[in-house]
Amino acid sequence: MTEKMQNQPMQPSQPWMASVLTLFPDMFPGPLAQSLAGKALAAGLWSLHVTDIRPFGVGVHNKVDDPPFGGGPGMVMRPDVMAAALASASDGLPKDMAKIYLSPRGKRLDQPLVKELAAGPGVLLVCGRYEGLDQRVIDAAGLTEISIGDYVLSGGEMAAQVLIDAVVRLLDGVMGNPMAHQQDSFENGLLEHPLYTHPRDWGGNVVPEILLSGDHGRIAKWRQEAAMALTQKRRPDLWEEWLKSEAKEDQSKGKKLTK
């Protein structure tokens, strides 16, 4: 057997699925077996399917890579090997399931994309190693390249775990309070406001008085203003995008009022 399935209770409807192709299947579920994601996996709120790429390799040693044409350092994962692994992993999956290759040159993963993936049936994730995949199999399989940031990892496994965790927490029934994620960073285009809890006075550092007022309107205003100030200071790129979106929304509201 080249594939393994995590044990989960049967569900009346098909849960969101993460189908992962990797040379290191023992890395899964890894941290995804802990905390919210782990509890949700055990409860059958999502499923994990892992395909080991190695058995699809060629020759007696199941070779999966070769040197790049044109020269250069490193090795490239072979298209014939990856195509065979993809065909096996894709068998029986919904045709509209997203197919993603974790790559530092891909589109950056952000919260809107996470929401889009959470709304679908699941995702097929290809974890590359070495210098990456042969371009021909990326094109032939219609893989979308996604990056989790402007840095390079040893392989796509940890990037896949980041993507899965970000999606799973948005699935129905995973978070105790289904509204909790709506105040997260990026949910409304801004970073999250500062958070405070007990004790009120910690070594002379006191909680802002307004948060103790009980005035929910003033508290909401303070949090919004704090989120705006934090975003403007730390992420000017997000701040500019937020200003543009607010301007568009105001323009849209203005058009509706004139009709």
pLDDT, tens only, 210-233: 999 999 999 999 999 999 999 999
pLDDT value of position 1: 40
Decide if 241 contacts 110 (C-beta within 8 A). no
Q: Is residue 48 part of a domain?
A: yes
Q: Is residue 108 part of a domain?
A: yes
pLDDT value of position 21: 98
CA-CA distances (angstroms) from residue 50 to 58, 97, 187, 196? 20, 16, 30, 40
pLDDT value of position 187: 74
Residues 145 and 192 in one domain: no
Decide if 230 contacts 191 (C-beta within 8 A). yes
Residues 63 and 158 in one domain: yes
Please determine, for residue 2, whether its predicted confidence score (pLDDT) is greater than 60. Answer: no
DSSP states along 72-85: -SS-EE-HHHHHHH
DSSP states along 159-211: HHHHHHHHHHTTSTTTSSSTTGGGGSTTTTSSPPPP---S-SEETTEE--GGG
What's the CATH code of the domain at 237?
A: 1.10.1270.20
pLDDT value of position 12: 44
Task: Report the number of distinct structural domains present in the chain.
Answer: 2
Please give the average per-residue pLDDT across 166-180, as a whole number: 86
Mean model confidence pLDDT for the chain: 91
Which of 137, 168, 199 is the last residue in one of the domains? 168
d(CA 161, CA 140): 25
pLDDT value of position 9: 42
pLDDT value of position 8: 45
Q: Cβ neighbours of residue 242 under 8 Å, at least 6 residues apart?
A: 189, 190, 228, 231
Q: Cβ neighbours of residue 252 under 8 Å, at least 6 residues apart?
A: none
Residues 159 and 199 in one domain: no
Q: Is residue 136 part of a domain?
A: yes
Q: Which of 17-21, 38-42, 131-135, 187-191 has the lowest mean pLDDT?
A: 187-191
Burial 4-32 (b: 16+ CB within 10 A, else e): eebebeeeeeebbbbbbbbbbbebbbeeb
CA-CA distances (angstroms) from residue 94 to 57, 88, 99, 184? 26, 14, 11, 30
**108, amino acid identity:** R
Residues 54 and 142 in one domain: yes
Please determine, for residue 239, whether its predicted confidence score (pLDDT) is greater than 50. Answer: yes
Which of 100, 101, 102, 105 lies closest to 150, judged by CA?
105
pLDDT value of position 13: 72
Grade residue 77 by pLDDT with cuts at 50, 70 and 90: very high
Give me the phi and psi of 124, to 5 degrees please.
-100, 125
What range defines the domain where residue 95 resides? 3-168
Residues 140 and 69 in one domain: yes
Grade residue 185 by pLDDT with cuts at 50, 70 and 90: low
pLDDT value of position 180: 62
The model's pLDDT over 121-154, given as tens digits with 9 standing for 90+, comes to 999 999 999 999 999 999 999 999 999 999 999 9
Active site residues: 104, 131, 169, 184
The model's pLDDT over 25-69, given as tens digits with 9 standing for 90+, comes to 999 999 999 999 999 999 999 999 999 999 999 999 999 999 999
pLDDT value of position 251: 79
What's the CATH code of the domain at 78?
A: 3.40.1280.10
Please determine, for residue 79, whether its predicted confidence score (pLDDT) is greater than 90. Answer: yes
Q: Is residue 179 part of a domain?
A: no
Residues 45 and 162 in one domain: yes
Please determine, for residue 73, whether its predicted confidence score (pLDDT) is greater than 90. Answer: yes
Tally of CA atoms within 13 A in the half-sphere of 174 that contains its CB? 26
